[in-house]
Amino acid sequence: MVQEDGRSPLVGARVVVTGGAGFLGRAVVARLRDRGVMDIVVPRKCDYDLTQESDAARLYRDARPEVVLHLAAEVGGIGANQANPGRYFFANMAMSLHMIEHARLNKLQKFVQVGTICAYPKHTPVPFREDDLWNGYPEETNAPYGIAKKSAMVMLDGYRRQYGLRSAYLLPVNLYGPWDNFDPATSHVIPALIRKCLEAAQRGAPFIECWGTGSASREFLYVDDAAEGIVRAAERLEEPMPVNLGTGNEITIRELVAHIARGCGFFGEIRWDPTKPDGQPRRCVDASRARELLGWSAQTDLAEGLRRTIAWFTAQRDGARAQAGSS
């Protein structure tokens, strides 16, 4: 819990943030530093392949953490999930397996696991409540990833009951924001659409094509809001009951595409390819547990978050072009 003087209980602790150089990790590290947490270790994949137990063990030896925030994941959009079901299950399961086991062996004070909304059953009643997490099989295209992440929660629960390992488990909805992955082969829906619309606008293209029918709905959480929830969980939670992080607002993909197209200055036709999958029909969570346990709620609405994300990507793209032109 937060101390009486208002300081974070993480101040003075050595904190390892796996995936700390990535999209979500950057925001989490910034939040920790805002709290006065300065002893932060961010392992890089080139130095520690956490799918290998020997590397996970070496990370604990080298970093000597007291708290671990495990954000590292291998993940992508629908197409990437379809192309890599075996790899995504193995990589995500192996990383959590090794990191949690060596947390036990090293008598870690706290382990925070970031899960995924993909762990919920395909036809979960909306809004998703944490008690529904086991009431069915996940949507098929991302089930291997979702089940691997959900298995980590089971492991943490067992380790809490048998070994006393304190932990937290969070289920953020689809994230977006600056530093996201904008690679069209592996990106999620918002960065993929931003890039597609900006490039179409620049070319003067008469249309863009989008996967599915556009009828599926999603809920999106700005990355800085997710980071705040994760840090609060590290400060306040002691056991791995699932906790949703979301806004409670959903939007259809069709509406989302129209909104992003306008924000990117693309006013051509939007064509839909119904031969491609829509993914899970609806996603929207009940975040009341996060409000009750963490005092947390999302602060950034979708319109403002998209504006910031489009502006960031545009600036990055323009900066790269200017640098290339001067070389």
What the block records as the tokens of 43 is: 């392992």
Across 8-12, 89-93, 277-281, least confident range:
277-281
The alpha carbons of the chain give a radius of gyration, in whole angstroms, of 20
120: left (phi over 0), alpha (psi -120 to 50) or beta: beta
Domains of the chain: 15-326 (3.40.50.720)
Q: Which of 310, 23, 277 is nearest to 191 (CA)?
A: 310
Q: Which of 48, 60, 120, 145 is an active site residue?
A: 145
Alpha helices in the chain (DSSP H): 23-34, 53-63, 78-83, 85-105, 143-163, 189-203, 223-236, 253-264, 288-294, 302-326
- Catalytic-residue membership of 145: yes
Mean pLDDT along residues 26-34: 98
pLDDT tens digits, one per residue of 95-130: 999 999 999 999 999 999 999 999 999 999 999 999
Mean pLDDT score across all residues of the chain: 94
Is a pLDDT exceeding 90 seen at residue 327?
Answer: no
Give the residue ranges of DSSP H helices in 164-252: 189-203, 223-236
pLDDT at 81 over 90: no
* pLDDT at residue 5, rounded to an integer: 60
pLDDT band at 317 (very low <50, low <70, confident <90, very high): confident
pLDDT tens, position by position, 257-306: 999 999 999 999 999 999 998 888 888 999 999 999 999 999 999 999 99
Distance in angstroms (rounded) separating the CA atoms of residues 180 and 22: 8
Task: Give the model's pLDDT for residue 118.
Answer: 92
**pTM assigned to the model:** 0.93
